[in-house]
Structure 1
């Protein structure tokens, strides 16, 4: 079972970063691979169990479900329900922590999944780089995080 982890320090207060990331339907405003995101059934984006449907830049679609969200811990978890790539049993966790040295944020993004034998490294790299690293890089550029 591949485990993919990316973590970084963001030069913004943790409350500002959390305001961006806690929106389970906010990816289309910052992630470069997401063209459109909607929450099914009109549910609020912070309702545990809500499902977001992504249309990717390449036209592919996927669905993810919010499993947990904690404002106190500045953390959330989600799973993949449908995806065009063979990621099975995919569950991801995002957690923020304040870095008091400079009023910055520590961002930890982790996912685990199963996949067909022989594709573990390829798909771990895809998730780690195309999803996590590119997402982190895009968030760094958001004007609302500028000091």
Structure 2
């Protein structure tokens, strides 16, 4: 199983960040790659659409409001992986009330691709996503 993780400090309190990203159906609020999200099964599944019209279906597998994190599994996507589980987590930064650390990590099995290709793909997705989050929070 392969994995990757990307972290960023962002210009907002942990609660402000969580208020923006903590909703499982909230990706369009801060991630330009996902302009559309539809909640299914009472909010436990999300159907995402990217700008190319590709569909990504994900299931919420863990959610912790108090600790500011959730994990999800991909059920269907145009990515060369299976067994994908990812976690989005917001941490306080000791000594700094006005910034937070956001960590986006995932583990997965490459499928019809090398491990390095898939690690690079998700590292780029997480990096671009956290860069977009930083821009949204700074606006």
TM-score for the superposition, normalised by structure 1: 0.86
User: After alignment, is 29-38 or 55-64 more displaced?
Assistant: 29-38
Could you say which residue in structure 2 is the equivalent of 1:107? 102
Deviations 1:86-143 (A, max 9, x none): 21000011221111333211111110000136521112111111x211110111112x
Match of 1:141, SS state, is helix
Unpaired runs of at least 5, structure 2: none
The whole-number CA distance in structure 2 between the counterparts of 1:118 and 1:62 is 19
Deviations 1:41-61 (A, max 9, x none): 4x24xxxxx110011111110
Tell me how large the CA RMSD over aligned residues is.
Answer: 1.6
Matched, 1:97 2:91: yes
Contact 1:94 1:107 in 2 (8 A): yes
Match of 2:96, SS state, is coil
Structure number with higher strand proportion: 2
The whole-number CA distance in structure 1 between the counterparts of 2:34 and 2:138 is 23
Contact 2:81 2:108 in 1 (8 A): yes
Report the number of matched residues. 138
